[in-house]
């Protein structure tokens, strides 16, 4: 068996028996983050009633995951908070943008009291957003 390697601009063939390099193992960013193995080879089945399966599907959809991935993460104890909170973070960011625009408009129109109150609300909003992250 011959292994082709690209060396610079030249392609060279090295017989595998003389190749001392380690085979390349690719690891995805998710595998590095979660510490999971490259391949999942163990398959286990679980029985659900129709109502239970509906609940699993609803919760997986709310988390933005497939049912199998949702069940794997839940059974391994992986916190799902970041995925579930994504929609809340996006909504709070939109509120923050609106508050920021309101502060700019209040300053331009000379309403310093309104600008100060909106700035306080924006500060509290940022604290809430930091608690999600």
Q: What is the pLDDT of residue 81?
A: 64
User: Average pLDDT for residues 103-116, to the nearest whole number?
Assistant: 91
What local confidence, expressed as pLDDT, does residue 31 receive? Answer: 60
Cβ-Cβ contacts under 8 Å for 80 (sequence gap 6 or more): 63, 65, 70, 73, 74
pLDDT at residue 106 tops 80: yes
How would you class 111 by CB atoms within 10 Å of its CB: exposed for 0-12, middle for 13-18, buried for 19 or more?
Answer: middle
The reported pLDDT for the residue numbered 76 is: 85
Provide the CB-side half-sphere exposure for 70 (13 A, CA): 17
Residue 125 binned pLDDT confidence (cut-offs 50, 70, 90):
confident
Q: In this predicted structure, what is the pLDDT of residue 85?
A: 65
Percent of the chain with pLDDT over 90: 25
CB-count burial class (<10 Å; 0-12, 13-18, 19+) for 2: exposed
Q: Is the pLDDT of residue 21 over 70?
A: no
| Average pLDDT of every residue of the chain | 75
pLDDT at position 1, please?
A: 45
Q: Calculate ∠ Cα 71-73-76, nearest 5°.
A: 105
Residue 106, C-beta contacts closer than 8 angstroms, at least 6 positions apart? 112, 114, 115, 118
Give the pLDDT score at 40.
78
Provide CB contacts within 8 A for 59, sequence distance 6+. Answer: 70
For 35-88, how does the pLDDT look when each residue is reduced to its tens digit (9 = 90+)?
Answer: 655 677 888 888 999 999 999 999 888 877 889 888 888 888 877 765 556 777
């Amino acid at each position: 068996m011959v292994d082709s390697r690209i060396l610079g601009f030249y392609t060279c063939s090295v017989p595998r028996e003389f190749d001392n390099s380690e085979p390349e193992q690719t690891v995805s960013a998710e595998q590095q983050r979660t510490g999971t193995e490259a391949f999942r080879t163990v398959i286990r089945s679980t029985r659900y009633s129709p109502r239970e399966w509906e609940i699993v599907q609803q919760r997986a959809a709310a988390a933005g995951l497939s049912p199998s991935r949702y069940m794997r993460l839940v059974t391994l104890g992986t916190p799902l908070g970041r995925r579930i909170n994504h929609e809340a973070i996006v909504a709070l960011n939109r509120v923050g943008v609106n508050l920021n625009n309101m502060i700019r408009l209040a300053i331009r129109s000379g309403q310093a009291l309104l600008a100060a109150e909106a700035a306080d609300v924006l500060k509290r909003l940022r604290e809430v957003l930091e608690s999600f992250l």
